Homo-oligomer: A and B are copies of this chain.
Amino acid sequence: MPLYLKPRKLDFSSGSEPLAVLNQHEAEAYGIQAGDRVELSWDHEKVIAAVEISSSRVNSGEIGLWREVWRGRRLRRQSVVEAELLSRPPSIEAIKKKLLGQELGYDEVYAIIADIASGRLSPVEITYYVASGFVKPNTDNELYYLSRAIAATGEQMNLPMQVVDKHSVGGLPGNRTTMLVTPIIASLGLYIPKTSSRAITSPAGTADTMEVLAPVTFPLSRIREIVKRTHACLVWGGGLNLAPADDRIIKLSRPLGLEPYDKMIVSIMAKKVAMGVDYLVIDMPVGDTAKITTRKLARQLEDKFIYLGRRLNMKVKVIKTLAKEPVGRGIGPALEARDVLRVLQQKPLKPQDLEDKAVYLAGELLELKKFCRPGEGERLARKQLQSGAAWRKMQEIIEVQGGQPNINADAVAVGAYRYEIHAPRDGRVGLIDNRAINGVCMNLGAPHEKIAGLHLHARWNQKVSRGDKLLTLYAPSKERLELGLKAQERTPVMTIS
C-alpha cells in the first residue's frame, strides 16, 4: 500500500545514496523504519531511496528529499510523490523458509550468503539464519551449496602449485599441532599455506597463539609472496576476505558459544576451496568433553568431509584421535606458544603428547600426498623435528612474517597475576573437564588477553599428594583473576578422587 506525499526539496547531500526523510508518526503508522528502502515515483520519474526518520525536519504528509533524489529529475511543487516500501530482500524469504524447516536450493543459499557477505542483512537477520540450522539439519546438497557459495563470495588464493593442508576441528584445549605440522611439512619442500582462525568457543585459536610469536594479519597478495618464499605461512584467515559470509556467521555464533557441526564443516571446506587445497588431513579429536563426543558422530562427520571433498575436488583424510584431556600443558595463547616452542626447540620441558600427535598428523599428510611410502610418514616427520630442520623452518616463517625468530621458549611472557591451585588431599586426578577449562580461561581474559590462561601441572589419572600443584592460573589483572577463580570454584577444572 503506497503513501502519497507532498515533496519537499532538502538542500542536503549524502555524497552517495539517495535519502528520503519521513515524518516519525507517519513512519510509525506504516511500520517503516530508518534504513528501510522505498521506491519513489512521481510524474515520469522513479528512484529508490533509503529512509531517514525525523520528528521535526518534515511535517506529516510530506517527504523530504535529499539532493541525490531530485537533482537531474523534474520535480514540480505540485507533484505528488508515491512512496512504496520495497519488499525485503528475497534472502529474507529464504531465511524464513529455512526457519520453517524447508530445504533450500543453490540460488536461495547463494542469495543468503551473498547478502551476508555484502552486509545487506543485519546481525539480527543473520542470527535467524544461523539459528535456522537447528530447526532441521542441512542436507548434503545444502552443505555443498553453502561451501561453494561462501568460497564464491570471497577472495581466492590461486597459487600455481599443488597445496597440502592440515586442519583440526578443535574442541580440545591446547592441541597446537598446526604450529608444528606446518614447519615440519614445509621443511620437506611441500607447500602448506596455513590460515587459521582465532578462538571461537575456546581460550585460543592457532592464529591467537601464533600472534604471540609474529604478526598474523596480511593481505592475500603478501601471503602469496610469503608462501612462495618459505613454502608455508601461519596467518590469520579471518584477516583475509576468503569467506566473508562465514566470518560474519562465526561472529554471531560467539555470544552463545555455539558451533553447529554442519556449519563447522562448511566453514572449513569453503576456506579450503578458497585456498586451493588439493590434499587435506583433518584432525578430529573424539571424546566426552571434546567438540565431537562420540565415535558415531565422528563417523558421520567424516562421511560429510569425504563427500564434500569429492564434490569439491579435494583428497581428504580424517584422523580420529581419542580426546581424553588437553594436548600440551598450557592453555591460552602465550602458554600454548611456550609449549610449541619447547617442542620445536626440543627442550626438556617439552610436552611429549603434543609432539607425538603433531608427528602423527604430519606423517599422515605426507602419506596422503604420496610424498613417501605408506608407513614411512611418521618417521620422516620426527626426523625433521629432531634434526632442527622444523625449528629452522619455523624461524624462517616467524622472520618473514615480521616476528623475532630468536625467541626462546622459556622467555615467552605470561600473566603476572597468578594463582596456584593445590591438591586438597591425596588421590588421583579425575577426568579433566575441557568445558571447565574453557570457562576458567575465558573468564581470565583469554584469548583477547594473550598472557591469560592456565598451566596444567598434573594430568588425568596421575597420583597426587595433598598440597601438590594441580594448576596455575594466569591473568592480566586482579579483576580477571577473580573472575577466573569464581569460574574455577563453580566448575573446577580438575578434581581429586
Contact = CB atoms under 8 A, between A and B. Distances in A.
A480 B84 CA distance: 11
A22 to B, nearest CB: 12
Interface stretch (A120-128, A349-357, A463-471): A120-128
A189 interface: no
Contact of A92 (B34, B256, B480): B256
B490 A92 contact: no
Interface residues of A, number: 71
A99 to B, nearest CB: 5
A64 to B, nearest CB: 15
Interface in A476-493: 476-480, 482-483, 486-487, 490-491
Nearest to A442: B29
Contact of A1 (B88, B258, B448, B479): B479
Contact of A449 (B4, B60, B127, B131): B60
A482 B99 contact: no
A60 B127 CA distance: 33
Interface in A248-268: 252, 254-258
A232 interface: no
A199 interface: yes
Given A127-B127, A257-B96, A483 B5 contact: yes
Contacts of A446: 29
Contacts of A442: 1, 3, 29-30, 88
A448 B61 contact: no
Contacts of A132: 131, 134
A87 to B, nearest CB: 6
A128 B125 contact: no
Interface of A: 1-6, 15, 25-26, 28-31, 33-34, 60-61, 80, 82, 85, 87-88, 92, 95-96, 99-101, 122-125, 127-128, 130-132, 134-135, 199-201, 252, 254-258, 435, 438-439, 442-443, 445-449, 452, 475-480, 482-483, 486-487, 490-491
Given A61-B479, A88-B442, A125-B256, 18 more contacts: A1-B439, A1-B479, A1-B491, A4-B443, A4-B482, A4-B486, A28-B448, A29-B201, A30-B480, A31-B201, A33-B254, A61-B445, A61-B483, A87-B443, A88-B257, A92-B255, A92-B257, A101-B134
